[in-house]
A and B are shown apart, each in its own frame.
Chain A
Amino acid sequence: MADERDDLFARLSPAGQELAPVIYRFLVPSPLRDATIMRLVESRPYRAGGYVCASFRKPISKCCGQDD
């Protein structure tokens, strides 16, 4: 695990290595681990402790049939 982390850390700047998120330590070595880390970063707002969801995406009415 430590070796794997070192591989990943080697790609970070010295400052980045100091600041690397703790979660990296808990990921299991896998060919897809980099993708996992990118997804964790990408979905960061969906893992926060509390939200205000101000967007509105659902259809307000449903008059249209399904497209051909």
Chain B
Amino acid sequence: MTEPVFTLFACCIPVRGARRSVICDLQRQSFHFIPNGLYEILTEHAGESIAAIHAAYDHQYDEEIVEYFAFLEQHELGFWCGDPGRFPAIDLHWETPERITNAILDVDEHSDHDYGKILAQLDDLGCKALEVRCFHRCGVGDLRPILEAARCGRLRSIDLLIGFGPELTPEALAAVAAEHKRVSSIVVHSAPESRVQPPDPRGVVVAYRTEVIDSPRCCGKIHPGYFTVDLETFAEGRKFNTCLNRKLSVDARGEIKGCPSLPKSYGNVRDVPLHSALAQRDFSALWSINKDQIAVCKDCEFRYICTDCRAYLSDESDLYSKPSKCNYDPYTAEWQPPAEERTSAGSSTKGES
């Protein structure tokens, strides 16, 4: 038998950052920090026996290397085997049959949306996930026309972000989620107190937050709470923009945009069919900006599990600059003070203001 070699499980993929690396476990939806030295071993010395790896580093780091492999085994990230060719790498090619995979529909007290018309058009485009953001105080009655319009069709999940109103009790919202099975989550903003209700039998969580979310300008926040470690996001992120790719939005005034925070409108949904807006030449221009092309992000170990933002940029003149609301520095592996504090001090953004 040949010397055993270490093989990562196909769903465990190392990603190098400037200061440290991560192994993304796409099946268990978690990630583990590792030193860049271990990343080098797993990539440049893949398929080599441990004796060969020790020798490659002139036996200077034998103890550390043994520790590394013990860590990987302990966290079930890989295994020793005699024939690594039996365990090929996962295919990360990404494609989708849907013209649009996700959409945002913004609503405020002045909105006059024809929900039936919008939802039917999103359905035609194959949209499978919708987020409805209501910036104003809502009652259950405000949600009904939206959810009734989504009762049929191919839409698979609806996330609701809605302004607190006295009607929005946990019981009332639990009833909404029970009646409308496509509802995936409900977040109530501007609530008097923060609390999270236990998940219902389908796993739907109703969360109340005190922060006020009264416009698209609140969007674009980057932090680990929004990291998504799964095969689809990881594979998509290697080639496409993790936020804007296959996204379509209708803002509170009915303007059709890639993202409600972007300034460019492709027409009003009252006059322009969504598929016509989508067909305009530059609608999808930002879809292909991936993290390997974005300054700073390209050196970040989180780049394939983090959803990007192209609306609020650290340099408005550079479409490839880092999201302004990201406070992570991959060169020191430290989280800086919240970006809002820095942007209020004068940093510009490209997004709508």
Contacts and interface: CB of A to CB of B under 8 A. Distances in A.
- A–B contact (CB under 8 angstroms): yes
Given A36-B79, A53-B231, A66-B223, A60 B104 contact: yes
Interface string B189-211: 10000000000000000000101
Given A43-B9, A46-B90, A51-B91, A56 B226 contact: no
B255 interface: no
Interface residues of B, dominant DSSP: loop
Interface residues of A, number: 35
A44 B308 CA distance: 30
| Interface size band for B | 35 or more
B73 interface: yes
A14 interface: no
Interface string B1-43: 1001000011100000000000000110000000000000000
B307 A58 contact: yes
A2 to B, nearest CB: 10
Contacts of A46: 9-11, 26-27, 90, 231
Contact of B228 (A23, A27, A33, A58): A58
Contacts of B233: 57-58
Interface in A10-53: 22-23, 26-28, 30, 32-33, 35-36, 39-40, 42-43, 46-47, 49-51, 53
B82 A62 contact: no
Nearest to A68: B194
B219 A62 contact: yes
18 contacts: A26-B86, A27-B79, A27-B81, A33-B79, A46-B90, A47-B11, A47-B90, A54-B128, A55-B230, A56-B232, A57-B232, A57-B233, A58-B242, A60-B104, A62-B221, A63-B189, A63-B219, A66-B224
Interface of A: 1, 22-23, 26-28, 30, 32-33, 35-36, 39-40, 42-43, 46-47, 49-51, 53-67
